[in-house]
Amino acid sequence: MAIKIAITNQKGGVAKTSTTINLADALKHFDYKVLTIDFDPSCNATSTYGAEREDVYTLYDVLDNACKVSEAIQHTDLGDIIPGDELLAENLDHFSGKMARESLLKKKLKEVDNEYDFIVIDTPPTLGLYMLNALVAADGCVIPLKAEHYSVAGLKLLFKTIENVISSEINENLRIYGTLITQFDARTKIDRELLEELPKVAKSQGFNHFKSYIRICQEVKNVQNLSDAENKSLYYNAPNCSAAKDYVDFTKELLEVINNG
């Protein structure tokens, strides 16, 4: 049965998509079979994977019962992905009116549960129906944080949403795997201070914080800006850059958290 990981934060600009892509890619390089799901209507993960969006089945079609999950999966050089769709943003009310609307994704993923080791879900920067679907479907979530104090302050709303999912028993086994500092710049004082303080905040508030952190790295943008015809794997194009090494360390740490229950 696949372990499902939601990459969540209602705040934009915290490297959710980069974390989704590089976690999935690292897991693939560790010989796991991985499926990525692009639940963000901006479709940035879909673009990075070089996946098609026109005249193909997308996540919108999966949720709308227009196709099977297997029919929407695209096999790219970077890995397997269910592409996102701008229609998710344009037709939110369509799904809001459905029965058990918060469990649409969870029900559909049962079809491929035994075909993958991990399913990694990129979520939109909003505490809405789509993030809720990701949390209901997930075994646990990773919360990327940009190294700034406002990111920490915004955690309360996300934690409340997660607690509601657990307490309402629609996914009582949901875990917070941990918070992850991204875009860390050791040259700035505030980044260094947050790196030191966040573990203390995590301990006092009862959530896990990853010791690993992702350093700011131009190679991430360079690789993502390659043409759609090229393999945009960070590990293929820049395996020795700081972010590639950091994401590998994070992935190893995440696997330890998952395996230790």
The C-alpha angle with vertex 123 and arms to 16 and 169, in degrees rounded to 5, equals 125
Give the pLDDT of residue 149. Answer: 67
Asked whether residue 154 carries a pLDDT value surpassing 80, the answer given is no
Give the pLDDT of residue 227. Answer: 83
**What is the percentage of the chain residues whose pLDDT exceeds 90?**
73
The structural domain count of the chain equals 1
DSSP annotation of 186:
T
- State which residues form the domain around 248: 3-259
Q: Which residue has the higher pLDDT, 102 or 227?
A: 102
pTM of the model: 0.95
The C-alpha angle with vertex 78 and arms to 74 and 82, in degrees rounded to 5, equals 30
Mean of all residue pLDDT scores within the chain: 92
The predicted model gives 1-17 an average pLDDT of 94
d(CA 134, CA 2): 14
What strands lie across the sheet with 80-82, from one edge to the other? Answer: 74-75, 80-82, 34-38, 118-122, 3-7, 140-146, 175-184, 209-215
User: pLDDT tens digits for 232-258?
Assistant: 999 999 999 999 999 999 999 999 999
Q: In CATH, what number is assigned to the domain containing residue 34?
A: 3.40.50.300
User: pLDDT tens digits for 181-193?
Assistant: 999 999 999 889 8
Give the pLDDT of residue 24. Answer: 98
